[in-house]
Structure 1
Amino acid sequence: MTATPDRGMRRIVVGLALSAVALAVAGGLADWLWLMGIGAWALIAAFLIELIYRP
């Protein structure tokens, strides 16, 4: 089965969102605000990609 561009983009968005959640949780557990900030910006980027890229 070949991967369509839509599936590839979905995989990127899901991966970015999961890494953002992991960074935010790790930052909260370690009490590092900068790591939570990176997680927040990654989550914002994932939502913007999802919002802009609509097949």
Structure 2
Amino acid sequence: MTDSDDPYRRLRRTQYVLFLLMAALGTAGGITESLWLLGLAAWALIAAGLIEMIYRP
């Protein structure tokens, strides 16, 4: 099995993307005082946390 076929590698990449998305949306929501951006950041954090808890290798 190659590294590109590793399902955990894809999950880790998805998790990192969700964490970066959460940071970007949270920062933008805090600067603009936009609650819907902060809400999206919270959901991205929840999704990344669920991936961490369920698919932890």
TM-score class, shorter-chain normalisation, is 0.7 to 0.9
**Cα-Cα RMSD:** 1.2
The gaps in structure 1 that reach 5 residues or longer are none
Deviations 1:12-54 (A, max 9, x none): 0000111011001101101101111110111111011111112
Separation in structure 1 between the aligned mates of residue 36 and residue 3 of structure 2, nearest angstrom = 39
What letter is aligned with 1:51?
M
Match of 1:46 among 23, 45, 48: 48
> Normalising by the residue count of structure 2, what TM-score does the alignment of the two structures yield?
0.85
> Normalising by the residue count of structure 1, what TM-score does the alignment of the two structures yield?
0.88
The gaps in structure 2 that reach 5 residues or longer are none
Runs of 4+ in 1 over 2 A off after TM superposition: none
Separation in structure 2 between the aligned mates of residue 47 and residue 2 of structure 1, nearest angstrom = 23
**How many aligned residue pairs are there?**
55
**Is the 8 Å Cα contact of residues 3 and 9 (structure 2) preserved in structure 1?**
no
2:40 pairs with 1:24: no
What letter is aligned with 2:35?
L
